[in-house]
Copies of this chain bind each other. A is one copy, B any other.
Amino acid sequence: MHNEQHVTSSETIRDIVIGMSDGLTVPFALAAGLSGAISSSGIVVTAGIAEIVAGSIAMGLGGFLAGRTEVDHYQSELKREYDEVERVPEQEKIEVMEVFADFGLSAPLQQQIADEMSKDKKKWVDFMMRYELGLEEPHANRATKSAITIGLSYIIGGIIPLSPYLIESNSQIALYYSCGITLICLFIFGYFKSKMTGQPAFSGAFKVVIIGALAAGAAFMMAKLINGK
């Protein structure tokens, strides 16, 4: 029960990280790029919001379908393993033995393990799923929750870099504020993300800031280049 809780919350954090890191970065860089070519904040805001809508749906629905696919895949493999355990138990026992042969256990011990494991079909299949196929049982209603979490995190992340353009009508001036706010948010976000995934927090935060700055700088220069300014 405790373990279950742990898995769920760490998956939610992973979804927030996925959504927010792209949400902070891509709309920020798009707005910066457009500011290099267009002086009206109105167009930057329209493009930015269109991007946030598109990105949140693509990522959210993408996450939902990936989750559903994972559940389907697990169920079909589970069914196949149960069939095989019924139909070709000796073959399946050999597969159990092979897992342990890889870890240098002796043949008699491999045989003993396979014999003992085959007494409980549920646990036997469970073993095959995890250690032969490397599949963990996915949470059935994770997909919907995951979609909403990723989508919302993308929207929240995306609104931050756009907010200065909503207030300041000159896009070149709004760009300065957007850079300031977004790079600070990327730093804070990168710091907590690194802390939570057990990475060095400051270097992790700098990496996130550098990706954002590079993406924005490249988009800015490219947009200037296209418009010959």
Query: Which residues of chain A have a CB within 8 Å of any CB of chain B?
Result: 21-22, 25-26, 28-30, 32-34, 36-38, 43, 45-47, 49-51, 53-55, 57-59, 61-62, 65, 69, 72-73, 100, 102-106, 109, 112-113, 116-117, 119-120, 123-124, 126-127, 131, 134, 136, 197-199, 207, 211-212, 214-216, 218-220, 222-223, 226-227
Contacts and interface: CB of A to CB of B under 8 A. Distances in A.
A136 to B, nearest CB: 8
A219 B34 contact: no
A26 B46 contact: no
7 contacts: A26-B54, A51-B219, A53-B222, A69-B199, A103-B124, A109-B112, A131-B131
Stoichiometry, copies per complex: 2
B37 A51 contact: no
Contact of A43 (B22, B25, B43, B216): B43
Contacts of A215: 53-54, 57-58, 61
Cβ-closest 6 pairs across A and B: A33-B50, A29-B54, A57-B215, A50-B219, A25-B58, A54-B219
A50 B104 contact: no
Contacts of A134: 136
B113 A109 contact: yes
A92 to B, nearest CB: 14
Contact of A103 (B47, B123, B136, B220): B123
A215 B59 CA distance: 10
A21 B109 CA distance: 48
Given A54-B33, A216-B54, A61 B211 contact: yes
Contact of A222 (B50, B72, B124, B216): B50
Contacts of A219: 50-51, 53-54
A211 B123 contact: no
Given A21-B62, A109-B113, A226 B46 contact: yes
A33 B222 CA distance: 21
Contact of A58 (B26, B112, B220, B226): B26
Given A50-B30, A104-B120, A219-B53, A22 B199 contact: no
A36 to B, nearest CB: 8
Contacts of A22: 58-59, 62
